[in-house]
């Protein structure tokens, strides 16, 4: 009898502890202490565990593409700061080349416009573009929704997330947004240093930070390391068809201007520039020092290039590497498997 | 001189009296009662009825046929002879008229106050506000995931709706990589979100002249509007398929929009007895 009781007690205990292990923490959006308020209106799409889980499943599912081979995660790989590692121009369906180098998916709640040219102004509307681009996923949104409606698992995932099995444009897009909103990168050594969380930067890194503030932070400003403006940074014209921001505004003065990218995780998001022409940070800094090409729309800050010695470049690069957020790139919550 | 003016004054008084009484002599009108009205968008090409795949000639003398012709009509307003305006509720005021879909050419407005309507105003395209609204406000023909939209009345890379889309073949158009001599006109542009750019939103008012669309409870008059596709290719700028086979989001598109605002014309009204 005593033994029996003990056994029951043991079983109950084991059951409870098992359950505890199965309870995943609730997914909640948060604003890192050193960040400004987000641009995205979270009240119209409050992040929940179930909608996030749906968004994550969609993000990593090739069902979004015509032949099932390309998912969002194909060109946005977590280990590379959600970019496509090792490609100058990203590859889409049938191995077709796209126009540009894929941008990292990080801290998008703080970004008001998307793409290198800012053509999309609402994160919720973003996903339609890669889905329907002939050289990315080459699918149509109505077709994607129909495939999901006839899928074994998605209708019940939509029900769990939204209360009914209905699969609508809004639900689909907002679920994808939730996954992207949760891609918050704010745990680099730099972040922990500025938030006084017990991490100290080396003398070299700190000097690099000072140099960065003097020489780079006009454009790469604030805690997101971008002012999100569109500028011509003096690159020789690569593909003359790709006139950048001018494609969106049709304004001559925007010719060959591209968005100033954030520099968070820059170490992991090689190669650089809108067309991925530079393979290293050294090459980027060399460009700013001595590679600037004069043109009518060249940014006025860059007319004479940026004076940088070899030593200064090294220090700036040492600082830039403190923006690498290993926790983000290894966060199980965001990973495919 | 005085006499001349008093005569004029009397004339005005009489006129306004007449137009006032006109409303009064029809006591059956009660704006609190609602009826319906149908706008019939009848696409034509010059003097002929428009049919996809049939040959026509543009003002530049080029032969062509269309395999797609569709456009948004939105923000509809109606005005009565006594200047009462009825504005269709915003959320219900977006329509996509497609040549390939006869039903889409009949826009029926419900809950319209009784009255003798003599003017119809609408937007060709989608207003800028709706172009920037949350995805939850993009329903029906504005739903970018709706199969009816599958033929792409939306630019996903440059967020915004395409207002008017015409595609077809002309032997004068240059051959593409597939050997087809296609022309493609995708006209849109709502003015830009954070930076100003082209704005091709056009508003059109059609005056019914002496005619009245008599909206009464249980009665549904039909206003027949003809839409002459040839006028999209002619006007201030004659469009040549040879020199401009593809016009999408570009400065030249404003010329086509300036043309197509004139392709809508009031033709006649059927009043139900």
In a domain, A336, yes or no: no
Quick check: A115 and B157 CB within 8 A? yes
Q: Which domain holds residue A212?
A: 189-326
- Rounded to a whole number of angstroms, the distance from the CA of A169 to the nearest CA of chain B is 5
Taking the C-alpha atoms of residue B106 and residue B101, their distance in angstroms, rounded to an integer, is 10
- List the single best residue of B129, B132, B141, B157 to mutate versus A (max A Cβ within 10 A): B157
CA-nearest of A184, A187, A164, A165 to A326 is A187
Q: Please report the pLDDT score of residue A307 as a whole number.
A: 97
Do residues A193 and A83 both lie within one domain? no
Task: Give the residue from chain B lying closest to A139, CA to CA.
Answer: B150
In a domain, A166, yes or no: yes
The CA distance from A138 to the nearest CA of chain B, in Å, is: 13
The closest alpha carbon to B244, from B62, B4, B10, B17, belongs to B62
Please count the structural domains in chain A: 2
| pLDDT tens track for A314-335 | 999 999 999 999 999 999 999 9
Q: Which pLDDT tens digit goes with each residue over A61-75?
A: 999 999 999 999 999
Q: Give domain status of residue A313, yes or no.
A: yes
Q: Is A75 labeled as ligand-binding?
A: yes
Please check whether residues A154 and A207 belong to one and the same domain.
Answer: no
Q: Are A265 and A323 in contact (CB under 8 A)?
A: yes
The Cα–Cα gap between B172 and B245 comes to 9
Tell me the mean pLDDT in the region A123-127. Answer: 96
Domain boundary among A155, A185, A215: A185
Task: Record the tokens describing residue B176, joined without a space.
Answer: 């593409």
Chain A nearest-CA residue for B160: A120
Is some CB atom of chain B closer than 8 A to the CB atom of A146?
A: yes
Contact B147 A146 (CB under 8 A): yes
A308 with A256, same domain: the answer is yes
Confidence class for position A8, pLDDT limits 50, 70, 90: low
Q: Does A141 touch chain B (CB under 8 A)?
A: yes
Q: Name the phi and psi angles at A9, rounded to 5.
A: -55, -40
Quick one: three-class SS letters along B33-47?
CEEEEEEEEEEEECC
Q: Inspect the interface and report whether the beta carbons of A249 and B196 lie closer than 8 Å.
A: yes
Show the CA angle centred on residue A271, arms to residues A270 and A273, nearest 5°. Answer: 120
pLDDT of res. A263: 98
**A238 interfaces chain B, CB cutoff of 8 Å:** no
CA distance to partner chain B, nearest, from residue A15 (Å): 43
Q: Which residues of chain B have pLDDT under 50?
A: 1, 15, 20, 24
Say whether A220 counts as a known binding-site residue: yes
Residues A151 and A284 in one domain: no
Do B229 and B183 meet the contact criterion of CB atoms below 8 Å apart?
Answer: no
Residue A219 is assigned to a ligand binding site: yes
- pLDDT-derived band of residue A294, with 50, 70 and 90 as boundaries? very high
Determine the distance from the C-alpha atom of residue A57 to the mean position of all C-alpha atoms in its chain, rounded to a whole number.
17
Q: Is A183 annotated as contributing to ligand binding?
A: no
**How far apart, in Å, do the first and last CA atoms of chain B sit?**
49
Q: Give the Cα-Cα-Cα angle A196, A197, A202 (nearest 5 degrees).
A: 75
pLDDT given at position A91? 84
Residue of A nearest to B158 (CA): A119
Rounded Cα distance between A105 and A107, Å, is 7
Out of B146, B159, B251, name the one closest to residue A122 (CB).
B159
Same domain, A263 and A312: yes
Q: Are residues A52 and A106 in the same domain?
A: yes
User: Nearest residue on chain A to B159, judged by CA atoms?
Assistant: A120
Q: What is the pLDDT of residue A337?
A: 87
Residues B145, A142: C-beta atoms closer than 8 Å: yes
Instruction: Give the rounded percent of residues in chain A with a pLDDT score beyond 90.
Output: 85
Alpha-carbon B64 to chain mean position? 23
Per residue in A155-185, pLDDT (tens digit) is 999 999 999 999 999 999 999 999 999 999 9
CA distances from A12 to A4, A16, A21 (A): 12, 6, 14
Examine the domain organization and report whether A139 and A54 are in the same domain.
Answer: yes
Is there a domain that residue A269 lies in? yes
Provide the CATH number for the domain around residue A309: 1.10.760.10
Q: Is ipTM over 0.90?
A: no
Do A137 and A239 share a structural domain? Answer: no
Q: What is the DSSP string of A206-246?
A: HHHHHHHHHHTTTTS-TTTT----EEB--PPPSSTT--BTH
Q: CB–CB of B135 and A118 under 8 A?
A: no
Last residue of a domain, one of A154, A185, A216: A185
Asked if A86 and A150 sit in the same domain, the reply is yes
CA angle, A37 then A82 then A79, to 5°: 120
pLDDT digits (tens, 9 = 90+) for B91-139: 999 999 999 999 999 999 999 999 999 999 999 999 999 999 999 999 9
- The predicted structure's pLDDT at residue B148: 72
Is the residue at A176 inside a domain? yes
**Chain B partners of A132 at a C-beta cutoff of 8 Å?**
152, 156
Residues in chain A: 337
| Residues A155, A242 share a domain | no
Centre a 10 Å sphere on the Cβ of residue A34 and count the other Cβ atoms it contains: 14
CB A299 within 8 A of CB A254: no
CB atoms within 10 A of CB A156: 11
Average of per-residue pLDDT values in chain B:
91
CB contacts, 8 Å: A119 with chain B: 157-159
- The residue to which tokens 């009665």 are assigned: B219
Which chain B residue lies closest to A40 (C-alpha atoms)? B134
Q: Residue A295: inside a domain, yes or no?
A: yes
Is residue A135 situated within a structural domain? yes
Boundary of a domain, candidates A185, A211, A242: A185
∠ CA B184-B188-B189, nearest 5°, is 140
Q: Are residues A224 and A144 in the same domain?
A: no
Residues A179 and A195 in one domain: no
Least Cα distance to A55 among A159, A171, A152 occurs for A171
Task: Please report, in angstroms and rounded to a whole number, the separation of the first and last CA atoms in chain A.
Answer: 46
Q: Which of B135, B194, B197 sits opposite A121 (nearest CB)?
A: B194
Q: pLDDT, tens digit, for every residue of A30-50?
A: 999 999 999 999 999 999 999
- Locate the chain B residue with the closest alpha carbon to A246: B197
- Cα–Cα distance measured from residue B97 to residue B111, given in angstroms and rounded to the nearest whole number: 21
């Amino acid at each position: 009898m005593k033994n029996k009781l003990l056994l029951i007690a043991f079983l109950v205990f084991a059951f409870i502890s098992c359950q505890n292990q199965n309870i995943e923490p609730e997914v909640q959006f948060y604003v890192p202490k050193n960040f400004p308020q987000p641009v995205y209106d979270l009240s119209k799409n409050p992040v929940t565990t179930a909608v996030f889980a749906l968004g994550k499943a969609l993000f990593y599912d090739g069902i979004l593409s015509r032949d099932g081979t390309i998912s969002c995660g194909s060109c946005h790989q977590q280990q590379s700061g959600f970019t496509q590692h090792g490609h100058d121009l990203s590859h889409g369906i049938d191995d077709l080349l796209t126009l540009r180098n894929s941008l990292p998916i990080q801290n998008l709640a703080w970004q008001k416009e998307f793409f290198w040219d800012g053509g999309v102004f609402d994160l919720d509307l973003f996903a339609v573009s890669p889905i329907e681009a002939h050289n990315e996923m080459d699918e149509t949104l109505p077709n994607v929704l129909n495939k999901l409606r006839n899928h074994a698992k998605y209708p019940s995932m939509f029900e769990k997330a939204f209360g009914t099995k209905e699969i609508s444009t809004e639900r689909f897009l907002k679920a994808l947004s939730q996954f992207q909103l949760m891609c918050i990168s704010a745990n680099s050594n730099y972040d922990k240093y500025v938030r006084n969380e017990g991490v100290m930067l080396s003398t070299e890194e700190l000097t690099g930070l000072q140099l960065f503030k003097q020489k780079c932070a006009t454009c790469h400003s604030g805690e997101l390391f971008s002012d999100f403006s569109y500028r011509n940074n003096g690159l020789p014209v690569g593909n003359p068809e790709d006139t950048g921001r001018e494609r969106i505004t049709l304004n001559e003065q925007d010719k060959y201007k591209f968005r100033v990218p954030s520099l968070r995780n820059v170490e992991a998001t090689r190669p650089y520039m809108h067309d991925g022409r530079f393979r290293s940070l050294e090459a980027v800094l060399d460009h700013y020092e001595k590679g600037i090409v004069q043109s009518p729309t060249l940014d006025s800050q860059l007319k004479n290039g940026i004076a940088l010695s070899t030593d200064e470049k090294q220090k700036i690069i040492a600082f830039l590497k403190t923006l690498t957020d290993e926790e983000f790139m290894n966060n199980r919550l965001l990973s495919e498997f | 001189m005085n006499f001349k003016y008093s005569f004029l004054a009397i004339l005005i008084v009489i006129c306004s009296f007449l137009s006032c009484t006109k409303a009064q002599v029809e006591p059956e009108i009660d704006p609190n009662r609602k009826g319906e009205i149908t706008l019939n968008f009848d696409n034509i090409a010059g003097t002929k009825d428009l049919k996809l795949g049939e040959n026509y000639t543009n003002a530049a003398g080029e032969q062509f046929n269309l395999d797609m012709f569709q456009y948004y009509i939105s923000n509809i307003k109606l005005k009565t002879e006594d200047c009462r305006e009825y504005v269709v509720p915003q959320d219900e005021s977006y329509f996509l008229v497609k040549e390939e879909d006869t039903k889409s050419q009949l826009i029926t407005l419900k809950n319209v106050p009784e009255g003798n309507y003599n003017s119809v105003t609408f937007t060709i395209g989608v207003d800028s506000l709706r172009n920037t609204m949350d995805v939850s406000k993009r329903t029906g023909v504005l739903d970018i995931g709706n199969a009816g939209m599958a033929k792409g009345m939306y630019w996903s890379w440059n967020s915004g709706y395409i207002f008017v889309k015409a595609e077809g073949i002309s032997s004068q158009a240059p051959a593409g990589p597939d050997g087809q001599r296609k022309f493609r006109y995708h006209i849109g542009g709502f003015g830009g979100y954070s930076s100003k750019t082209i704005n091709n939103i056009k508003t059109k008012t059609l005056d019914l002249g002496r005619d009245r669309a008599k909206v009464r409870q249980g009665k549904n008059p039909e206003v027949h509007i003809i839409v002459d596709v040839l006028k999209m290719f002619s006007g201030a700028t004659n469009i040549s398929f040879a020199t401009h086979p593809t016009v999408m989001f570009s400065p030249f598109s404003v010329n086509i929009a300036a043309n197509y605002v004139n392709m809508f014309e009031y033709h006649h009204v059927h009043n139900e007895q």
